[in-house]
Amino acid sequence: MSTASVPARAGMSAADVELLESALLAHGWAPGLCQHDARTESCAWYHGAWQTLRMLGLMSTSGVNAAHYAAELARSRHDPSFRRVLVTGSADYAMLKLIADSRDPSDAPLTYVVLDRCATPLRICEWYAQRHGLHLETLHQDVLDPLPEAAFDAVYTHAFMGNFDADDRQRLVRQWARVLRPGGRVVTVQRVRDDYPGDIVSFSDAEAEAFVARVAELAPALLPPAAAGLDVVAMAREHARRFRALPVRSADRLRGLFEDARFRLDRFERSAPDGPAGVTGPSVPNTAGHYLITAERLAAE
């Protein structure tokens, strides 16, 4: 399938048409590729719907915080040591695109390495990289499993630490430190829910109802004919029912994770991204308490 074969609404940009095509591919690939092990249920409900819901502006992606990433990418553009970047966790190709779009033909060639424990986002990233001539490597594994030491110049990720409990969050930041060369940098965004009372973050009943209603309202106006065969309301209902994250409850503890792993924090700034009006939830972008983070891995003493 090519973008030329996808029926699109008038006025859709090339990027929107590409997102539409990839959303249809992900929806078709997810039932077969979203398999983990006997202990872990399929994430097809998530990866098969993510990009379709993103087309409605309802998903919190790296693009919501594009200015934060762009500032660091501008710094790296003419740095000849910026050669290998690791993306840990990838719902789709959004982070890959964000980095690639910042590059200039005169910049040193960059190798993108995308790591995820699910094969669906890796397949989507491979599809995108092939279309745009990017040098991509994929790692189909858990980020806490062994990785080569000092092999990367940067780690880019978004809203990733909510997939880990407090102990594994500490292991994650230490893993980032291990895989980065001295001077390498982590660039990320993470929401902090101050003193969150529960152990699991999920949609409340009211949030889920509003989210599904908003999808039902937006889909007819925003989705093109090629998406007509998708039951987007059912996707939204399943997303709101199943979505789970683990709360990061303290900015001080978050900062401490990086400092304890011998990172210097160049940026640790609270932000509230814009998002859709009238709908909230743990995966919706208009929530307060996001921290924009840039951390440099210090040399060993």
Q: Give the C-alpha distances (Å, rounded to integers) separating 195 from 133, 141, 143, 162, 185.
A: 45, 32, 27, 15, 28
Contacts of 183 (CB under 8 A, 6+ apart): 81, 296, 297, 299
pLDDT at residue 272, rounded to an integer? 75
Contacts of 283 (CB under 8 A, 6+ apart): 58, 59, 60, 239, 243
> What residue ranges do the domains of the chain occupy?
3-297
Closest to 125 (Cα-Cα) out of 144, 111, 108, 143: 111
Rounded to the nearest angstrom, the gap between the alpha carbon of residue 243 and the centroid of all alpha carbons in its chain is 15
Query: 3-297: CATH homologous superfamily?
Result: Vaccinia Virus protein VP39 (3.40.50.150)
Rounded distance, CA 35 to CA 129, Å?
A: 23
Rounded distance, CA 283 to CA 211, Å?
A: 10
Name the token pair of 19. Answer: 């997102």
Residue with tokens 């719902």: 91
Rounded distance, CA 207 to CA 280, Å?
A: 6
Reading the chain (301 residues) residue by residue, the pLDDT tens digits are: 444 456 666 678 999 999 999 999 999 999 999 976 656 789 999 999 999 999 998 998 888 889 999 999 999 988 888 999 999 999 999 999 999 999 988 888 899 999 999 999 999 999 999 999 999 999 999 999 999 999 999 999 999 999 999 999 999 999 999 999 999 999 999 999 998 889 999 999 999 999 999 999 999 989 988 888 899 999 999 999 999 999 999 999 999 999 999 999 999 999 877 777 778 888 887 667 899 999 999 998 6
pLDDT at residue 77, rounded to an integer? 85
Its pTM stands at 0.93
